[in-house]
Chains A and B, each alone.
Chain A
Amino acid sequence: MEKRRKWKYLSLCIPAFLLIVIFMIVPLGNAVKVSFYKWNGYSQKMKWIGLENYGSIFTDKVFGRSMMNTFIYGFGSTLFQNIAGLSAALFVNKQFKGRNLVRLILYMPIMISGVIMGAIQYYIFNYDNGVLNNLLNLFGIGNIYWMESGIGSVFIITLINSWQAMGFCMLIYLAGLQNIPKMYEEAALLDGTSRRQIFFKIDLPLLMPAITTAVITNLIGGFKLYDIIVTLTNGGPNRKSLSLSYYISLLYFNDEKAGYSAAVGIALFVIIFIVAVPINQYLRSREVEY
């Protein structure tokens, strides 16, 4: 197409990208600058220390732990949400009384803010007077200390997050399923293909755009998990259930290490980048046109 036309189209992008540059790139630049200083976050004085903050990242045990947690939140949530979402979509696709009700209720928790959900779940998983333990007590089982270990807490947080956001995946898959032209399935049925094969050979590939969208969105969302951890575990026993996002804010506000916090922020960005881009490329390549 002629150059003029092309630039005309591109000019449509200006307002959006302008906003992005002002509100994301500029503050990001500020963060990069701060990462080279030692600063307590509120004083007017800062001290230049070069790459020292980045060096500290490699010896920081909590960083390593948080990074691992972030991966679990990201990949774990994505895995659970997508499998659950797809199953739910298939389930809800059937016709039965009350189906709409089920669909409605499955989607509802998304409306609840992560902060509020964490606060409520705190009272469900509480050791002493938590609802879950109350339930167990009814059956004669003693209290379980759910949040005792870091790994346990991380697992619980992942589960809660997946449970809450599953509705989103469910809808994307429902839309995708309904997008599949029936003629393909009917033709296959006529050919005598089993339903299982239909699912794996026809539906899944055609669901790829939906899967791509769902997986990338979930992944990035899981990596950035923050709200629910704040109110549920505050970082967990001895900072063991922190996500990198939460660690960044803790470093800044609690530990008063603003420079180091900025460095960790940049590191998180790089990590997400390294992980998400290849996945995106791979999923895009598997999309099938129809």
Chain B
Amino acid sequence: MLKKKWATTTMAFCLAANTVLMAACGGSASTQETKGADQAEGNQEGTKTEQTGTQGQGAASDFSGRTIEIATYLSGDTLNAYKQVIADFESETGVKVTLDEYGEDYESTMKTRMASNDLPDIFETHGWSLIRYKEYLADLSGEPWASQLNKAALGVIQDTDGKLYTLMTTGSCLGTAVNMNVCEKAGVDPWAIDTWEDFNAACEKIKEAGFTPIANYFTSAGALANANGSWLSYEGAQFNDNEAMLNGTWDWADFKTILDYLQTWFDNGYLYADCGTIKQADAIERCARNECAFIVGIGTSYQTAVTAQNPDVVMAMIPICASQKGGARFCGIGEGASFGIWKDTKEMDVCKAFLNYVSENADGINSAAGEISTLPCQTSKSYGMGLMEEMESHYPNVFYDNLWDRKYMPSGMWGVFQVAAGMFCEDQSEEGKQEVIDYLRENYTDLYEASQE
């Protein structure tokens, strides 16, 4: 009986998958509609939770009566797109989905739940599937969509032993955001910038024109962590400390060069006076008012947000600058909306079916998020994709890799960098810098040891 059901399910699924793929290739603009049509047959488990169930096929079978719990941190349009996928899944398979929208408190709530080993069936991993959540996730490398993920995605979510723990539906692309309106008014050509010296020269011009060159804020770790590879790790960089970083012996002495460089931002007055207390929302608003030019080390969702607040602003993205001539220009790829399945879930098959469903209907989520696509079903070009392509046309040799701190730093360093950013923002003297380096080194050693246990 079960076998028969399985067979029918498999066939139904294949049929559905086919239809979906065909429709997808047809270039659908709005994801939801296409999905709806195809989904009717496929697994419509609208559970947002990622199911680790690999029964494979997403048999669109009837799972009615089953319930799954999904947790999400998404908000705004992206969340609406996600909810649509879930709703479609629910109507197709009869599964009931309970959606927990945690928003800003997502990480702390997840940590509390992990401590009590009580997790939702499907939850988002937002870039930490390998570093933080791995202990609680089910391996999904056998899923049908696992082989369909493009290289950009695999580079980010695949573990060294080939396993992967999350379905990455969108990727965030991190570079330096540029406000073209401001650059034009100041007579700066952002495409001509190559090294950090060029960057500073451009900033000088922008400052003279009366704008604020750099909108980076030091309440987040980004200012201190996202661009580091350009000095320390990438091809043609000033230093090559990769090995030392990965085996825990790095002494952070070279980091001083980065701090010295960042100090020039402060000394030359390129930053906002309140860069130590503002949040990303403030930077977005100021950029929308055409008051600032650059933010170093931020994802394309930033530009999406700026244009939402002021549609007349023209934004662009350039790769992270090189530390010396000839150095690689880098763009980071991070997990965007990614979903994993709790390994102890009681509804493995439903969860896996849901993930399959999502993997086939992620176009809407992608365009709403304004990020880069990772699956073949994503055919509508999001705003972020547009920015990326424009950038590639100017820099054909741009080098994509996982975000620097996720690749070379042990788990937990992001929080450490955040505190260090605050420390540095307050005091850029020699003693201040030494204090920052000591703080980073101490925590790095601690966290590295902890990760080795």
A58 at the interface (CB under 8 A from B): no
- Centre residue among B115, B416, B419, B423 by max chain A CB count within 10 A: B115
Chain B, residue nearest A251 (CB): B415
With known contacts A44-B117, A238-B426, A239-B419, A126–B135 Cβ distance under 8 A: no
A185 lies within 8 A of chain B by Cβ = no
Cβ-defined contact, B110 with A128, below 8 A: no
Q: How far does the alpha carbon of A254 sit from the alpha carbon of B220 in the complex, in Å?
A: 12
Which chain B positions have C-beta within 8 A of A38?
Answer: 450
- Asked if A127 contacts B274 (CB within 8 A), the reply is yes
Tell yes or no: A106 within 8 A of B by CB: no
A42 and B110 in contact (CB under 8 A), knowing A237-B276, A238-B276?
yes
Interface: B337 (CB within 8 A): no
Interface residues of A in 33-64 (CB under 8 A from B): 38, 40-45, 47
- Tell whether A72 is near chain B: CB-to-CB under 8 Å: no
Indicate whether A179 reaches chain B with its CB closer than 8 angstroms.
no
* Given A128-B282, A128-B286, also A43-B426 (CB < 8 A): no
> Which residue, B285, B286, B415, has most C-beta atoms of chain A within 10 A?
B415
Residues on A with C-beta less than 8 A from B425 are: 237-238
Given contacts A43-B135, A128-B286, A238-B422, contact A147 B277 (CB under 8 A): yes
Residues of B in contact (CB 8 Å), total 32
Considering only residues 262-315 of chain B, those with a C-beta below 8 Å from chain A are 272-274, 276-279, 282, 285-286
Question: Is B407's CB within 8 Å of the partner chain A?
Answer: no
User: C-beta contact mask, B106-138 vs A, less than 8 Å → 1, else 0?
Assistant: 011011101101000000000000001001000
Question: CA A41 – CA B425 in complex, angstroms?
Answer: 29
Cα distance A126–B423 when bound, in Å?
21
- Do the beta carbons of A41 and B276 come within 8 Å of each other? no
Q: Which residues of A contact B453 (CB under 8 A)?
A: 45, 47
**Contact in complex: B412, A236 (CB < 8 Å):** no
User: Among B112, B135, B219, B276, which residue has its beta carbon within 8 angstroms of that of A44?
Assistant: B135
Query: Is the pair B219, A234 in contact by a Cβ cutoff of 8 Å?
Result: yes
Q: A227 within 8 Å of B by Cβ?
A: no
Contact B285 A129 (CB under 8 A): yes
- B71-96 contact mask (Cβ, 8 Å, vs A): 1 or 0: 00000000000000000000000000
Q: Does A186 contact B (CB under 8 A)?
A: no
Given that A237-B426, A238-B423 are known contacts, is A40 also in contact with B277, CB under 8 Å in the complex? no
Which of A40, A45, A47, A147 meets B274, CB within 8 Å?
A147
Q: Which of A159-194 contact B (CB under 8 A)?
A: none
Interface membership of chain B positions 390-417, coded 1 if the CB is closer than 8 angstroms to chain A and 0 otherwise: 0000000000000000000000100110
Q: Are A126 and B111 neighbours in the complex by a CB distance under 8 Å?
A: no
User: How distant is B170 from chain A, measured CB to nearest CB, in Å?
Assistant: 25
Instruction: Let me know if A236 and B277 touch, CB within 8 A.
Output: yes
Taken together as a complex, chains A and B put the C-alpha atoms of A255 and B112 apart, in Å, by 14
* A127: chain B residues within 8 A (beta carbon): 272-274, 277-278
Which among A41, A148, A234, A254 has the highest number of chain B CB atoms within 10 Å?
A: A254
Q: Give the distance to chain A from B108, nearest Cβ to Cβ, in Å.
A: 4
Type the 1/0 row for A2-42, where 1 means its CB is closer than 8 Å to any CB of B.
00000000000000000000000000000000000010111
- Asked if A69 is an interface residue, CB under 8 A from chain B, the answer is no
Query: With A128-B286, A234-B219, A237-B426 in contact, is A148–B111 under 8 Å at CB?
Result: no
Q: Mind listing 9 A-B residue pairs with CB under 8 Å? A: A41-B114, A44-B135, A45-B453, A127-B277, A147-B277, A237-B277, A239-B422, A254-B415, A256-B415
In the complex, given contacts A127-B277, A147-B274, A238-B426, what are 19 additional A-B residue pairs having Cβ atoms less than 8 angstroms apart? A42-B110, A42-B115, A44-B135, A47-B453, A127-B274, A128-B272, A128-B278, A128-B282, A128-B285, A145-B273, A148-B277, A237-B422, A237-B425, A238-B423, A238-B425, A253-B107, A253-B111, A254-B415, A255-B419
